[in-house]
Amino acid sequence: MFVDEIKIKVIAGNGGDGCTSFRREKFVPMGGPDGGNGGKGADIIFTVDKGLKTLVDLRYMKTVKGDKGVNGKGSNKYGSNAQDVIIKVPLGTTIKDLDTNLILADLVKEDDRVIVAHGGRGGRGNKAFATHDNPAPKFSEKGEPGEIRLLQVELKMLADVGLVGFPSVGKSTLLSQISSSKPKIAAYHFTTLSPNLGVVKLQDHRSFVMADLPGLIEGASEGVGLGEKFLKHAMRTKILCHILDMSGMEGRNPIEDYKIIRNEISKYDAKLSKKKEIVVANKMDLEGAEENLAKFKKEYPNLNVFAISAMNNEGINDLLIAIADLLDASEEDELYTSEDMESHMIYKFVSEQPYTITRENDVWVIRGEKIEKLFNMTKFNEDEAVLRFARKLKGMGVEDALEKLGAKRGDEVQILDYIFEFKE
């Protein structure tokens, strides 16, 4: 199966900061606290868009960043939430966290969506911290940082259309012509994903994945490997595009060739031979091609044949439209087996220890998600905020743990890039 794969960094929005503010009233030097909470930061969300076939649109997004929530204000004004960032991906997309190597999601259903990075919650304003003991708190919280993740996004691609035919009938030429041609009126657009695979986008926005599937006849002569590979890919396409050399160059006989290839296909697999097929008469620019085509149509009156010259870029536009039409008509076929869309387990990473303490260059370094978050949400320019921070650390047992490890009064303790003194 073809795999389309990209790396992307997602940075969810930070929460808006809470506000420290006091009501202003006439003749009252300091009224009650009225600082509002900040708004929530933007989530980064992946959703399925059934119309998409590849990850091409994501290829140039290296980093996606969500907005910060709006800061809270005085008079109990809450900041509003930031708008979430939605990234649309095709059905069957798998998202992996590269730091943990865990699968975050397998988007296998039409309306699947997953938050890959959560926006931070808004920091609380000082009003929210008012208690009986401290009815006028002079501190508030900063917004919670948004999650940051490095993701690997992967799509096992199923080609919609597989090109089949004898060697040298012009399969590669057709693909490369589609990819390089710049028609006067941009009738279609082609994105090459590998030398024999690409995405065709028509002007009416319909799109499909087209793959060259060599190995049908070659497979028979060159051993099983190539033939098996052909079959595996061919079985997963929705329709086949059967290319014939209508010029009959080099002793080829298109009437015979058609029969032989059809025969090979049904020998491979009965299901494969039932796939819908578009027949293409190529090399119509060459002498004798018109004559052969007339004979061919007489022999196979029920086939709808598209006459093209891959080399001269003739008839290709009509062919692509016909392919899109046939794909539309075969949309309901149940060709994507559940095995193709096989689901992965989704794991959640749960850390056992809330934090770690290590001795590095005579400094006690504390690491841990919860502590770092608390640190990031503390406004160290507000004395009461600093006191609260110290109290929280104590509540988490950090002081005791440091003491047990032998920390002395006056030792340096580090959280993130901030160093402070240890005091029992």
Ligand X SMILES: Nc1nc2c(ncn2[C@@H]2O[C@H](COP(=O)(O)OP(=O)(O)O)[C@@H](O)[C@H]2O)c(=O)[nH]1
Interface with Mg ion by CB under 5 A: which residues?
A: 171-172
Does 173 participate in binding ligand X (rule CB under 6 A)? yes
**Nearest-approach distance from CB 173 to ligand X, in angstroms:** 3
Which residue number is nearest to Mg ion in terms of Cβ? Answer: 172
Q: Which residue has the tokens 């808006």?
A: 16
Give the DSSP letter of residue 251.
G
Among 233, 283, 379, 388, which residue sits at the site for ligand X (rule: CB under 6 A)?
283
Q: For the CA atoms of 399, 400, 405, 410, what is the dihedral angle to 10 degrees?
A: 40
**Nearest-approach distance from CB 344 to Mg ion, in angstroms:** 35
Among 167, 288, 354, 397, which residue sits at the site for ligand X (rule: CB under 6 A)?
167
Which residue stretch of 92-100, 270-278, 283-291, 372-380 sits at the interface with ligand X (rule: CB under 6 A)?
A: 283-291
Does 310 participate in binding ligand X (rule CB under 6 A)? yes
Closest CB to ligand X among residues 168, 304: 168
Closest CB to ligand X among residues 259, 271: 259
Closest CB to Mg ion among residues 172, 191: 172
Among 285, 287, 291, 318, which residue sits at the site for ligand X (rule: CB under 6 A)?
285
**Nearest-approach distance from CB 257 to ligand X, in angstroms:** 12
Q: Which residue has the tokens 């296998």?
A: 108
Does 219 participate in binding ligand X (rule CB under 6 A)? no
Residue 400 touches which of ligand X, Mg ion, none (Cβ within 5-8 Å per kind): none
Tell me the two tokens of residue 136. 């006028």
**Nearest-approach distance from CB 82 to Mg ion, in angstroms:** 50
Residue 310 touches which of ligand X, Mg ion, none (Cβ within 5-8 Å per kind): ligand X
Residue 128 touches which of Mg ion, ligand X, none (Cβ within 5-8 Å per kind): none
**Nearest-approach distance from CB 311 to ligand X, in angstroms:** 3
Could you give the CA distance from residue 329 to residue 168 in angstroms, rounded to a whole number? 30
Closest CB to ligand X among residues 120, 165: 165
**Nearest-approach distance from CB 227 to ligand X, in angstroms:** 16
Which residue stretch of 41-49, 53-61, 279-287, 344-352 sits at the interface with ligand X (rule: CB under 6 A)?
A: 279-287
CA 321, 324, 330, 332 torsion: positive or negative? negative
Closest CB to ligand X among residues 251, 410: 251
- In total, the chain counts a number of residues equal to 424
Strand extents, DSSP E, 354-398:
356-360, 363-367
Site for ligand X in 66-95 (CB under 6 A): none
Show the DSSP H helices in 269-347 as ranges.
270-273, 289-299, 316-329
**Nearest-approach distance from CB 214 to Mg ion, in angstroms:** 6
How many CA atoms does the CB half-sphere of 218 hold within 13 Å? 13
Give the DSSP letter of residue 401.
H
Does 242 participate in binding ligand X (rule CB under 6 A)? no
What stretch of H or E contains 161? strand 161-164
Among 120, 170, 198, 254, which residue sits at the site for ligand X (rule: CB under 6 A)?
170
**Nearest-approach distance from CB 274 to ligand X, in angstroms:** 24
Tell me the two tokens of residue 333. 């076929």
Strand extents, DSSP E, 77-124:
85-89, 93-97, 102-107, 113-117
CA 98, 103, 105, 107 torsion: positive or negative? positive
Could you give the CA distance from residue 379 to residue 368 in angstroms, rounded to a whole number? 19
Q: Sheet of 102-107: strands edge to edge?
A: 63-65, 2-11, 148-157, 93-97, 102-107
Query: How many angstroms separate the Cα of 343 from the Cα of each of 44, 106, 160, 337, 340?
Result: 22, 6, 21, 12, 9
Give the residues lining the site for ligand X (CB under 6 A). Answer: 165, 167-173, 282-283, 285-286, 309-311
